Amino acid sequence: MNHPSTGLSHAFEVLLREAPRHAEAWMSAARSLDAASALDKKCEHLAYLAVLAALRLESGVPFHVQLAKNAGASRSEVASAILVGLPAAGNAVVQSLPAALAAYDAS
């Protein structure tokens, strides 16, 4: 379940609240990796959605859909990012499609 206003998963909210030092270490690493990326923001967020779908981490999909949308991704680009892993990862990526489209349509 994701928080309605932030889009964060319940698990990530617990991490932020209960282990703030770990959360800050994680976010520091994420910021450093983001700064090192050669991808533009839209491509980066779409690629991240593809990874989430392939790993079946649906709880992170709504938050990252909003980042992709804010970076200019269309609804069809979001759907394509979710489904790009279909040949390699198989049917598992389809599980993220409903959450991705619902998150895109919600805002």
Q: Which domain holds residue 60?
A: 10-106
Characterise 74 by phi-psi region: left (phi > 0), alpha (psi -120 to 50), beta (else).
beta
Quick check: is 5 in a domain?
A: no
C-beta separation of 2 from 63 below 8 A: yes
Q: Give the global pTM.
A: 0.86
Rg of the chain (C-alpha set): 14
* 36-47 residue pLDDT tens: 999 999 999 999
Quick check: is 61 in a domain?
A: yes
Quick check: is 50 in a domain?
A: yes
Number of domains, the chain: 1
- CATH of residue 89's domain is 1.20.1290.10
C-beta separation of 45 from 64 below 8 A: yes
Kindly indicate the confidence band of residue 56, based on its pLDDT and cuts at 50, 70 and 90. very high
